[in-house]
Amino acid sequence: MSKAMVVDDSRTIRIILAKMLSELGFEVCPAAGGKEALEVVERENGNFSAIMADWNMPEMNGLELVKQLRSDPRLSAVPIMMITTETETRQVMAALEAGANEYVMKPFSRDIIADKLRLMGVLE
């Protein structure tokens, strides 16, 4: 089974995304923020098919997290999707330049998430 990590400080968003991803056939590893996400990476030895991260989180924001994840050789090829309320073009560009593969703006639907996962090559 494919494994996805969902990183968001909103418990509600984590639950919604986990349900969507479970329905799409993923085992889900949730994290409430960037620092916890790095702990999950260690626990799971970087074994993910996809990572989804919010931008606005305390302690370590999503952009900082993407940079940290991309610096880990185990995660260099793992597709990362930013899911956020940030809509400015410069922020989208910053996320993509940092290593995010896709960018989804909240609110989102199951179809949008599935389409982006297909674009990233992790869902048929």
Q: Distance from CA of residue 106 to its chain's centroid?
A: 13
How does residue 7 score in pLDDT terms, banded at 50, 70 and 90?
very high
22 pairs with which residues across the strands? none
Q: Is the pLDDT of residue 121 over 90?
A: yes
Per-residue pLDDT at 119: 96
For residues 31-41, give the mean pLDDT: 97
pLDDT (tens digit per residue) in 83-108: 999 889 999 999 999 999 999 999 99
Query: b/e for 14-45, b at 16 or more Cβ within 10 A?
Result: bebbbebbeebebebbbbbbbbbbbebbeeee
Across the range 34-38, mean pLDDT stands at: 97
pLDDT over threshold 90, residue 16: yes
pLDDT digits (tens, 9 = 90+) for 43-66: 999 999 999 999 999 999 999 999
pLDDT of residue 1: 78
**Alpha helices (H) in 9-109, listed in sequence order:** 11-23, 34-43, 62-70, 89-98
Question: CA 99, CA 82: separation in Å to the nearest integer?
Answer: 10
Question: pTM for the full model?
Answer: 0.95
Asked whether the predicted pLDDT for residue 117 surpasses 90, the reply is yes
> Going from the N-terminus, what domains does the chain have, and what CATH number goes with each?
2-119 (3.40.50.2300)
